[in-house]
Amino acid sequence: MPNPESGAASESNFSSSDVIEILREHNWHTGELSCEQAAWCERAAALLGPQAADRLALENLLALIFHYDASEILAHADSHLVMSRYAARDALRQLALLLLDPVPLTTDRFREVVDTMKSNLDIRGRELFQTLRLSLAGRSGDGELDRVVLLLDEAAAAQFAAPVKTARDRIIEFCSALD
């Protein structure tokens, strides 16, 4: 399984100040930061910064955290392509069952979820991860989206001005919006 935090050790061109500036520009946060929010901004810079080639790319990754609409996601042709792949719906059902437990999705829990899905399903790699990334991050793609997923529950707990949907909330919404 790819290590979703492996990018954290890479050099980032962005700091928590950059994250805070983007949050304020989009009204995802206003006012003073709490200690929890400041810590989240540091973590976001560490996880997403190495994945972002420029400020716009960082902004786009952060937008995936602060904006999630399953109906909107499923309206794209790319989403239908992902969901039509072999065992995608099986992967989605398994993921939903694992995330119904309201325990926060941490790095360790993310690994457990992926390991359980690999053990219970006859799929690996792209078929497994594209479904997971689409349903939780709102886009199919590569490992940078795993880092977005790792930031969801912490961002929701930090209570920014823009409410963030947890991984559990997202999977419920995604399954509800699916035909």
**Whole-structure pTM value:** 0.90
Question: What digits encode the pLDDT tens for the residues 6-20?
Answer: 444 467 789 999 999
If we measure between CA atoms, which residue out of 125, 155, 147, 153 comes closest to residue 23? 155
Q: Which residue has the tokens 């400020």?
A: 55
CB-based contact 16:124 (threshold 8 Å) = no
| pLDDT tens-digit map of 27-78 | 999 999 999 999 999 999 999 999 999 999 999 999 999 999 999 999 999 9
Helices 125-137 and 88-99 pack at an angle, to 10 degrees, of: 50
Can you give the pLDDT at residue 10?
60
Structure tokens at 137: 């991050």
Hey, what amino acid is at 83?
M
Domain ranges across the chain: 6-177
Give yes or no for a contact between 135 and 25, defined as CB atoms under 8 angstroms apart: no
